[in-house]
């Protein structure tokens, strides 16, 4: 199908599909991102579900959204303000006003407008008639009636036909971005296998939407985004939670250990457990426990018995796991705890993202109980972070907390598919049967770890305990000097991990006036802003931390030589205070956003420019 | 006892194979010593290599147990033994897993893990040392302390009813429940061997005496002059007869159990309830577990022993079935499955 309007080239676009929970917006978004992949763009997506399972229809709280950020240049984030909003009802406009910017194109199903819908959305007058939307380009498309028209020969009832109205909207969007609608066929054929009638209906409605946009000339111009300059290879779309599960599975395979995951459902981490339970075919042992404590305890038991042991949770669950984490520190067993952070404290904002479990991860246990803390920086990076967490846990015989975030877990990005054999080797220090030199707490000179003596192995019977043990023999010991030695050894063991992790990287001039520091899921947005400012010739640099405990060896060097350092995070200042403690020779500015919302590029840019003045 | 090692060579294990070099630090006269000896007798008879046995405990006097058994052992944190043991068993189903716990550890702080391990029918053996008191923290009441008992934290006597461990286990869907007495080591040994032969979660409540904080708490059951009248031995297929003169028995009268005397009021042995540990329904097992002196003798021995699929077997089966039929054999296969695209 030829596109007759003027075509404008864009670097990147943010599009948000919004509708009532039953309007199929997640499917629409997924279909659009699939075609984005075929168009060769880089992209990231983010679903924005309502917190409730069946919220009241037509209301603002019932709006379900799916955002796709795609581009010709590398896409680092799921996007903030949108270029295009597809709104299937008035509530979808109301719910997404925060994400609009002057000039945003709103594709609105004008058939959804009536007094009742306005009232449910909380509008007192029609926003498309008053000046509510005066800053935006509103395309009023009769999506519902045109869908019914397109399907009139199918002999379906009205309700069945209306299920396809999201496809009409998708057709319009495909036209707007000069996409060939046959790109969608592959998805239809898989999704609706054995339902040829449904495939045909979807294709018909998409084509109708496309033709409508074309013949009615509803857009002054359309857009094209050139393929991104991505490295050669095979790609897939992956959410952070799936990437976490697969990264752990890859680590199990590479290390020759079976994986065991004991977990308890909690938003937004549940999907990792739900993913792992699928892979019985790959011998994944995933166990839904009776509570968070049983989740970590069963995993620790499995670790003792020789598995790569994992437990997954979110903030409140991490609190419940504290005591058992102390036991993992004491027994010096490998364990990966994944905390998909959400807004806290307490139940907080369960469906919103935050970075506020950092202090809990670093310090949240009784006694001096050091462990490794890592933070993933993006959805696809969850794969590599989970892999590294498992590698460090097993090779250094220690628990590791991997911090991800709700937005990373639910969001998706493209992943260049790696080969497991190309990932770094994982060599756990497994004790050999009948080794006369072996002792339960005899340590490696370099790493200070003990060996993993796995039940079933001849000649290595031993007992471990949460009680203090004599270094070497592992016998229970209340000897005062031994306790001090063991506390120091456990700390030193974790600190020495710094000898085995990469040095901290810095983007931009290592002596830039302003060093922007971030960690975790704010990576993409902070990097985007710094890159833009670098292009503008500003004296700014970016250090994004993946390794939190221990910090990379060159951290002090990275922090040196700047006029100002600003630490940006989605909490009230946890990493900045950690740096103040660990790296006290520097003065830190901070920028904190604690609204359950990501940083906007504009707000960061303003802050950084202010600091540069 | 004959065992086989990894190369299927027969090895003979004895009690000495399981004695540890650690000093046993329980109080002199504590019932735990007797139970330790029982398990050191039982373990050579498990038919397992000594490396394939794992003892897991929580916190409390009883939970020191793993340190005194020369096996793999995990002395963990308060209440969590069942959860930890679950992970051990699922990680390596070949291990014979023994959980050692007390009434406080198991039915208070660990209550949730306990009932769920029972419900899932994890193939583990659990010995609950019931002295009806918190010993290690020096004498506070536990969920198994009788109503009205004066303790450090109930100076006016408790005003709550205790758990009956047997009822708790059977109520949670338990398939194997037995009760023994610490000092009756021969009987306890037999019970442990029965537990070992049961596939699934076996719970053994051991009435154990704490010399210091609840001394004599089981005296109305175990005392020399009362024990024959206050204990009825549950043996599968045999009538539930007890008493010094073996003339008392349990009869089912309507929907209740009653104690009757053979030879009185025309009662003969035929009227006495015959124990059926294999009965799937819980009614009579529940009534047997419930019995308490003085109105009834306490039921000793294997009260319930019902076959059912174990959680660990089910997991193993699903894994075998799924891995046999799937085309995805490696994580590389998985990464390349579903929608992918090439950038050239």
pTM score above 0.90: yes
User: What's the mean pLDDT in A135-164?
Assistant: 95
Whether residue A260 is found in the same domain as residue A282: yes
In a domain, B191, yes or no: yes
Residue A589, domain CATH: 3.40.50.920
* Interchain proximity B113–A290, CB inside 8 Å: yes
The tokens for A81 are 């303000």
Find the CB nearest B335 among A246, A283, A289: A246
In a domain, B105, yes or no: yes
- Name the pLDDT band for A244 (thresholds 50, 70, 90): very high
Which residues of B fall within a CB distance of 8 Å from A466? Answer: 59, 75-77
Give the model confidence (pLDDT) of A32-89 as tens digits: 998 999 899 999 999 887 777 778 899 999 999 999 999 999 999 999 999 999 999 9
Give the model confidence (pLDDT) of A322-376 as tens digits: 999 999 999 999 999 999 999 999 999 999 999 999 999 999 999 999 999 999 9
- Name the pLDDT band for A113 (thresholds 50, 70, 90): very high
Last residue of a domain, one of A379, A404, A422: A422
In a domain, A432, yes or no: no
Find the CB nearest A297 among B70, B87, B343: B87
Given the cut 0.90, state whether the ipTM is greater than it: yes
* Interchain proximity A293–B113, CB inside 8 Å: yes
Smallest CA–CA distance, residue B137 to chain A, in Å, is 16
High-pLDDT (> 70) share of chain B, %? 97
Smallest CA–CA distance, residue B245 to chain A, in Å, is 48
In a domain, B290, yes or no: no
Whether residue A279 is found in the same domain as residue A363: yes
Report the 10 Å Cβ neighbour count for A357: 27
Give the model confidence (pLDDT) of B219-254 as tens digits: 999 999 999 999 999 999 999 999 999 999 999 999
* Interchain proximity A460–B51, CB inside 8 Å: yes
Give the model confidence (pLDDT) of A452-466 as tens digits: 999 999 999 999 999
* Interchain proximity B335–A38, CB inside 8 Å: no
User: What's the mean pLDDT in B64-69?
Assistant: 96
pLDDT above 50 (res B208): yes
Residue B133, domain CATH: 3.40.50.970
Whether residue A246 is found in the same domain as residue A363: yes
**pLDDT value, residue A22:** 84
- Name the pLDDT band for B176 (thresholds 50, 70, 90): very high
Among A33, A239, A297, A418, most B C-beta atoms within 10 A, so best to mutate, is A297
DSSP-derived secondary structure letter, B154: B
Q: Which domain holds residue B124?
A: 2-217+308-322
CA separation for the pair B137, B320 (Å, rounded): 46
In a domain, A543, yes or no: yes
Smallest CA–CA distance, residue A482 to chain B, in Å, is 18
In a domain, B332, yes or no: no
In a domain, A85, yes or no: yes
Whether residue A394 is found in the same domain as residue A254: yes
Residue A402, domain CATH: 3.40.50.970
Sign of the C-alpha dihedral computed for residues B86, B87, B89 and B90 taken in this order: positive
In a domain, B261, yes or no: no
pLDDT above 50 (res A143): yes
Phi and psi at residue A477, in whole multiples of 5°?
-150, 130
High-pLDDT (> 90) share of chain A, %? 92
Give the model confidence (pLDDT) of B277-334 as tens digits: 999 999 999 999 999 999 999 999 999 999 999 999 999 999 999 999 999 999 999 9
User: What's the mean pLDDT in A111-136?
Assistant: 93
**pLDDT value, residue A6:** 86
pLDDT above 50 (res A379): yes
Find the CB nearest B67 among A186, A236, A463: A463
Whether residue A271 is found in the same domain as residue A339: yes
Find the CB nearest B51 among A291, A326, A456: A456
Give the model confidence (pLDDT) of A482-500 as tens digits: 999 999 999 999 999 999 9
Whether residue A73 is found in the same domain as residue A154: yes
Mean pLDDT over the full length of chain A: 95
Give the model confidence (pLDDT) of B132-149 as tens digits: 999 999 999 999 999 999
Phi and psi at residue B181, in whole multiples of 5°?
-120, 135
* Interchain proximity B84–A300, CB inside 8 Å: yes
User: What's the mean pLDDT in A231-240?
Assistant: 96
Whether residue A253 is found in the same domain as residue A275: yes
Whether the CB-CB separation of B50 and B17 falls below 8 Å is answered with: yes
Which residues of A fall within a CB distance of 8 Å from B319? Answer: 280, 283, 285
Alpha carbon distances (Å) from A586 to A526, A544, A560, A577, B195: 21, 17, 8, 12, 64
Q: Which domain holds residue A80?
A: 6-224
**pLDDT value, residue B1:** 45
Which residues of B fall within a CB distance of 8 Å from A231? Answer: 343
Whether residue A120 is found in the same domain as residue A141: yes
Which residues of B fall within a CB distance of 8 Å from A297? Answer: 76-77, 80, 83-84, 86-87, 113
Which residues of A fall within a CB distance of 8 Å from B67? Answer: 463, 465, 476
Smallest CA–CA distance, residue B323 to chain A, in Å, is 4
Give the model confidence (pLDDT) of A272-297 as tens digits: 999 999 999 999 999 999 999 999 99
Q: Chains A and B: how many Cβ contacts under 8 Å?
A: 210
User: What's the mean pLDDT in A409-414?
Assistant: 95
Q: CA Rg, chain A, in Å?
A: 27
For chain B, the domain total comes to 1
Find the CB nearest A304 among B74, B322, B335: B74
Last residue of a domain, one of A403, A422, A441: A422
Which residues of B fall within a CB distance of 8 Å from A260? Answer: 87, 90-91
**pLDDT value, residue B324:** 95
Which residues of B fall within a CB distance of 8 Å from A301? Answer: 56, 74, 83-89, 91
For chain A, the domain total comes to 3
Smallest CA–CA distance, residue A113 to chain B, in Å, is 37
Residue A22, domain CATH: 3.40.920.10
* Interchain proximity B76–A327, CB inside 8 Å: yes
DSSP string spanning B48-114?
A: S-GGGEEEEE-SSSGGGGGGGBSSEEEE-STT-HHHHHHHHHHH-TTSEEEEEEEHHIIIIITHHHH
Smallest CA–CA distance, residue A291 to chain B, in Å, is 8
Whether residue A24 is found in the same domain as residue A153: yes
* Interchain proximity A417–B335, CB inside 8 Å: yes
CA dihedral A35, A39, A43, A46 (to 10 degrees): -10
Label residue A322 exposed, middle or buried (CB < 10 Å: 0-12, 13-18, 19+).
middle
In a domain, A473, yes or no: no
CA separation for the pair A582, A362 (Å, rounded): 12
* Interchain proximity A457–B51, CB inside 8 Å: yes
Q: What b/e readout covers A167-204, taking b as 16+ CB neighbours within 10 angstroms?
A: bbbbbbbbbbbbbebebbeebbeeeeeeeeebbebbbb
* Interchain proximity B343–A233, CB inside 8 Å: yes
**pLDDT value, residue A191:** 86
In a domain, A433, yes or no: no
Chain B residue closest to A458 (CA)?
A: B51
- Name the pLDDT band for B275 (thresholds 50, 70, 90): very high
Chain A residue closest to B323 (CA)?
A: A281
Give the model confidence (pLDDT) of B100-133 as tens digits: 999 999 999 999 999 999 999 999 999 999 999 9
Find the CB nearest B54 among A34, A455, A465: A455
Which residues of A fall within a CB distance of 8 Å from B72? Answer: 304, 455-456, 461-463
In a domain, A501, yes or no: no
In a domain, A410, yes or no: yes
pLDDT above 60 (res A217): yes
* Interchain proximity A299–B87, CB inside 8 Å: yes
User: What's the mean pLDDT in A517-545?
Assistant: 97
């Amino acid at each position: 199908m030829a596109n007759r309007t003027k075509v404008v080239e864009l670097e990147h676009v943010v599009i948000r599909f919004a509708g009532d929970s039953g309007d199929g917006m997640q499917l629409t978004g997924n279909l659009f991102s699939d075609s984005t992949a075929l168009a060769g763009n880089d992209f990231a997506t983010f679903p924005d579900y309502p917190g409730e399972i069946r919220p009241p229809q037509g209301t603002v709280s019932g709006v379900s959204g799916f955002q796709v950020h795609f581009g010709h240049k590398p896409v680092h984030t799921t996007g903030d303000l949108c270029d295009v909003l597809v709104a299937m009802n008035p509530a979808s406009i109301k719910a997404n006003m925060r994400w609009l910017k002057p000039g945003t194109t709103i594709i609105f199903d004008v058939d959804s407008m009536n007094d009742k819908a306005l009232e449910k959305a909380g509008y007192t007058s029609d926003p498309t008639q008053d000046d509510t939307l005066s800053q935006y380009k509103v395309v009023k498309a009769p999506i519902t009636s045109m869908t019914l028209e397109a399907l009139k020969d199918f002999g379906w009832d009205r309700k069945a036909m209306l299920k396809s109205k999201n496809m009409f909207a998708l057709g319009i969007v495909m036209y707007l971005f000069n996409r060939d609608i046959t790109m969608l066929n592959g998805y239809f054929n898989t999704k609706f296998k054995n339902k040829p009638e449904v495939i045909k209906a979807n294709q018909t409605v998409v084509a109708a939407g496309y033709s409508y946009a074309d013949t009615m000339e509803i857009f002054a111009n359309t857009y094209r985004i050139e393929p991104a300059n991505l490295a050669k290879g095979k790609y897939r779309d992956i959410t952070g939670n799936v990437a976490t599960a697969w990264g752990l599975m890859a680590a199990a395979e590479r290390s020759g250990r079976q994986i065991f995951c004991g977990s308890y459902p909690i938003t937004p981490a549940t999907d990792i457990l739900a993913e792992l339970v699928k892979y019985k075919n790959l011998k994944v042992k995933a166990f839904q426990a009776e509570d968070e404590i049983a989740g970590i305890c069963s995993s620790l038991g499995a670790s003792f018995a020789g598995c790569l042991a994992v437990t997954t949770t979110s903030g409140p669950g991490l609190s419940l796991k504290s005591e058992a984490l102390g036991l993992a520190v004491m027994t010096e067993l490998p364990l990966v705890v994944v905390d998909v952070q959400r807004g806290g404290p307490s139940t907080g904002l369960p469906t919103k993202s935050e970075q506020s479990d950092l202090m809990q991860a670093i310090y949240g246990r009784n006694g001096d109980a050091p462990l490794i803390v890592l933070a993933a920086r993006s959805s696809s990076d969850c794969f590599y972070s989970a892999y590294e967490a498992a590698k460090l846990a097993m090779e250094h015989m220690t628990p590791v907390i991997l911090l991800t975030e709700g937005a990373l877990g639910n969001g998706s990005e493209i992943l260049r598919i790696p080969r497991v054999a190309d990932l770094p080797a994982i060599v756990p220090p497994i004790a050999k049967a009948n080794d006369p030199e072996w002792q339960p707490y005899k340590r490696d000179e370099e790493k200070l770890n003990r060996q993993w003596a796995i039940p079933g192995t001849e000649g290595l019977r031993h007992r471990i305990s949460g009680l203090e043990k004599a270094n070497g023999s592992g016998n229970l010991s209340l000897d005062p000097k031994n306790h001090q030695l063991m506390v120091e050894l456990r700390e030193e063991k974790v600190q020495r991990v710094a000898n085995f992790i990469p040095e901290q990287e810095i983007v931009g001039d290592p002596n830039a006036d302003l060093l922007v520091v971030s960690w975790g899921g704010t990576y993409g947005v902070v990097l985007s802003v710094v890159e833009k400012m670098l292009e503008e010739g500003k004296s700014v640099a970016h250090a994004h931390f993946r390794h939190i405990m221990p910090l990379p060896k060159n951290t002090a060097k990275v922090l040196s030589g700047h006029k100002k350092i600003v630490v940006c995070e989605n909490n009230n200042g946890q990493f900045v205070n950690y740096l103040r403690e660990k790296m006290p020779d520097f003065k830190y500015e901070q920028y904190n956003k604690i609204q359950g919302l990501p940083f906007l590029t504009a707000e960061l840019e303003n802050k950084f420019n202010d600091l540069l003045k | 006892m004959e065992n086989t090692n990894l190369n299927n060579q027969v090895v003979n294990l004895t009690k000495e194979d399981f004695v540890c070099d650690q000093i046993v630090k329980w109080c002199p006269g504590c019932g735990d010593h007797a139970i330790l000896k029982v398990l050191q007798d039982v373990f050579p008879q498990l038919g397992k290599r000594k490396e394939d046995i794992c003892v897991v405990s929580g916190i409390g006097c009883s939970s020191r147990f793993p340190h005194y058994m020369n096996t793999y052992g995990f002395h963990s944190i308060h209440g969590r033994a069942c959860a930890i043991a679950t992970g051990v068993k699922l990680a390596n189903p070949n291990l014979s897993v023994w959980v050692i716990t007390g009434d406080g550890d198991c039915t208070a702080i660990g209550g949730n893990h306990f009932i769920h391990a029972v419900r899932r029918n994890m193939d583990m053996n659990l010995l609950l040392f019931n002295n009806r008191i918190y010993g290690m923290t020096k004498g506070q009441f536990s969920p198994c302390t009788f109503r009205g008992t004066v303790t450090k934290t109930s100076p006016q006597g408790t005003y709550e009813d205790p758990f009956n461990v047997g009822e708790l286990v059977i109520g949670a869907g338990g398939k194997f429940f037995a009760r023994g007495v610490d000092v009756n080591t021969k009987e306890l040994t037999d019970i442990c061997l029965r537990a070992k032969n049961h596939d699934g979660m076996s719970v053994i409540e051991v009435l154990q005496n704490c010399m210091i904080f609840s001394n004599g708490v089981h005296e109305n059951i175990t005392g020399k002059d009362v024990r024959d009248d206050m204990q009825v031995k549950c043996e599968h297929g045999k009538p539930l007869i007890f008493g010094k003169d073996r003339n008392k028995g349990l009869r089912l009268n309507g929907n209740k159990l009653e104690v009757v005397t053979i030879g009185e009021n025309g009662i003969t042995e035929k009227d006495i309830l015959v124990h059926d540990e294999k009965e799937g329904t819980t009614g009579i097992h529940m009534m047997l577990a419930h019995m308490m002196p003085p109105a009834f003798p306490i039921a000793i021995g294997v009260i319930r022993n019902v076959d059912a699929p174990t959680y660990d077997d089910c997991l193993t089966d699903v894994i075998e079935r799924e891995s046999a039929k799937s085309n995805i054999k490696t994580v590389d296969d998985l990464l390349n499955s579903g929608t992918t695209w090439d950038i050239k």
